[in-house]
Amino acid sequence: MRSRIVYNSFVKLTIDGDIMKLNASDYTKGEIMKILRQWTNLTQKNFASKMGKSKRTIEQYEAGAVNYNIEFLKKISKEFNIEITFSKKK
């Protein structure tokens, strides 16, 4: 079974004025992590280094094999100046 962040919610990502709005129920947590990393234009290795994680951990996050927490999302947001907004679908 694929894990999801929140059913019936939206994830809005903003970086350098560009906005991407995702329906979280359409993506796994791993897919959302991969989208975040790709938005930084970094390889898994470079992203991992910036975030203080191993490349293997980032691979596992993106594959959905290991879950990340909200604190890690906050760290990504701060490090890359990405606004991450979760809002419940009305």
What rounded mean pLDDT belongs to the chain?
Answer: 81
How confident is the model at residue 64, as a pLDDT?
A: 92
DSSP state for residue 19 in the 8-state scheme: E
Nearest alpha carbon to residue 61 among 48, 74, 52, 71 = 48
3 lies in some domain: no
Instruction: Supply the pTM of this predicted model.
Output: 0.77
Residue 44 lies in a domain: yes
Number of domains the chain is built from: 1
Does the pLDDT at position 45 exceed 70? yes
Domain CATH number, residue 71: 1.10.260.40
Model pLDDT, residue 9? 54
Question: Residue with structure tokens 């979280």?
Answer: 24
Residues 13/39, Cβ–Cβ less than 8 Å? yes
Residue 80, domain member (yes or no) = yes
Q: Kindly state the percentage of the chain with pLDDT values over 70.
A: 74
Which residue would you say has higher pLDDT here, 29 or 45? Answer: 45
> Longest C-alpha distance within the chain, in Å?
38
The whole-number average pLDDT for the span 53-68 is 96
Q: Which domain holds residue 55?
A: 9-88
Tokens of 28: 């796994």
Q: Give the pairing type, strands 82-88 and 18-23.
A: unpaired
